Structure 1
Amino acid sequence: MTSSRDDDALGWAGDDDPTLVSGGAAAVERTPAPTADTTAVDAPADRDSATPDTATPDTATPDTDLPDGWAVTGSPGGYVDAPEEPATLSSPALIGLGILAGVYLLYTIGWFIGVGRLTSGLTDPLGQFMFSLGTWLAIAAPAVWFASSYWLTRGKPRLRWTWLILGAVLLAPLPFIAGTGGL
């Protein structure tokens, strides 16, 4: 015993609207851009061609108010191309990236704790300043390495993984691991 009320719970109002496109910007079909060779044949026959609100082929201009990333190509139809969508990460790649991000976060915490254990035997102000600057840069290094590796290697997954794994090896918090310092 099924009723239409049960089927109503599985859909939204307007699901059958033909103007809706599913799939985001990747599913948008190519549509012809306005061209200068449009003739008055396309206009309704009952309109007066002498009215000022209609454009003639000589005065028609292509649409220049396109969104950023959209361009009119030199293709024969004058089609408007949608902007390229960045490639999405697969589930294993996303999990691996999350694990590496966690490792870099732990490295930042490890550097913070490890550097906090170090003492400076320097007495001059310049030496103390340089030691303090070096410790703060060491703390920030894992986060900066992860962010710059991720941002600078867009579209190059092998290079991204290479740099992220190299950073995980090079940026290990040695003062924390070795236990150097006053505690």
Structure 2
Amino acid sequence: MTTGRDDDALTWDGDDDPTLDVGATAGSDPAPETAARRSAPELPSGYTAVGKGSETIGAADAPDAASVDDESPSGDTVAAPRSLGNGALVALGVLGGVYALYAIGWIIGGLRLQGRAQYLVLDVMYQGSLWLAVLAPVLWFATTFLLTRRSRAWVRFAWLAAGVVMLLPWPFVMIGAIGQ
């Protein structure tokens, strides 16, 4: 009745899948096609191997080093932009959330201030400036993100931090959601 394996209770259906094999055990000999596959691993096009041992992994259609760089019209090679690390992506997400909260703060504060500011400007002018103020954080984030694509990460975060300081929703800060 038993299959002869000591750890049947600790296995799942599909554990014998060769793609889940993490290495040869001491008593087993890998199959010939598995050994051939391990000797020359290839990645699909568009993927880049990173980490320990990544230099031995080749792409399926590996371009030579000269074609990886973009060429400018003057014939000079320009390095391709590096991808962002995990910390930078998390920081961009947090800053994007701050800018989204700023847009919401401008909406709430601007609508609360509308009754008090009618004697200063016409209603049409106030509505236009209100919606420009609401869009300002979103436009700042998108513009900074697009214009600093080929810059260093600290330049991008410096401009985003400057926007956090400059675009603070003062009507929401001074009046708040409930008012004073």
Instruction: State the partner residue of 2:170.
Output: 174
Distance 1:112 1:29 in 2: 50
Q: Which residue of 1 aligns with 2:12?
A: none
Q: For 2:155, which of 141, 159, 169 is the aligned residue? A: 159
Greater helix proportion? 2
Match of 1:131? Answer: 126
Separation in structure 2 between the aligned mates of residue 140 and residue 88 of structure 1, nearest angstrom: 28
Distance 2:104 2:85 in 1: 29
What SS does structure 2 have at the residue aligned with 1:169? helix
Q: CA deviation at 1:106?
A: 0.5
The share of aligned pairs that are identical, in percent, is: 34
* 1:8 corresponds to which of 6, 18, 26: 18
Is the alpha carbon distance of 1:164 and 1:122 closer, same or farther for their aligned partners in structure 2, counting shifts above 3 Å? same
Question: How many equivalent pairs are there?
Answer: 135
Corresponding residue number in structure 1 for 2:118: 121
Contact 2:108 2:177 survives alignment (8 Å): no
Instruction: Give the whole-Å Cα distance in 2 for the aligned partners of 1:175 and 1:109.
Output: 11
Larger radius of gyration: 1
Judge conservation of contact 1:115–1:175 (CA < 8 Å) in 2.
Answer: yes
Q: Out of 101, 104, 112, which is 2:96 matched to?
A: 101
The 2-side partners of 1:19 and 1:6 are apart by 21
Residue 136 of structure 2 contacts residue 167 of structure 2 at CA under 8 Å; is this kept in 1? yes
RMSD: 4.1
* Contact 1:142 1:171 (C-alpha < 8 Å) held by counterparts: yes
Residue in 1 aligned with 2:63? 29
SS of residue matched to 1:24: coil
TM (normalized to structure 2)?
Answer: 0.59
Structure 1, gaps ≥5 residues long: 34-68, 75-80
Q: Distance in 1 between matches of 2:134 and 2:66?
A: 54
Cα offset for 1:93?
1.2
Offset of residue 90 of structure 1: 1.1
TM-score (norm 1): 0.58
Gaps of 5+ in 2: 7-14, 22-32, 49-58
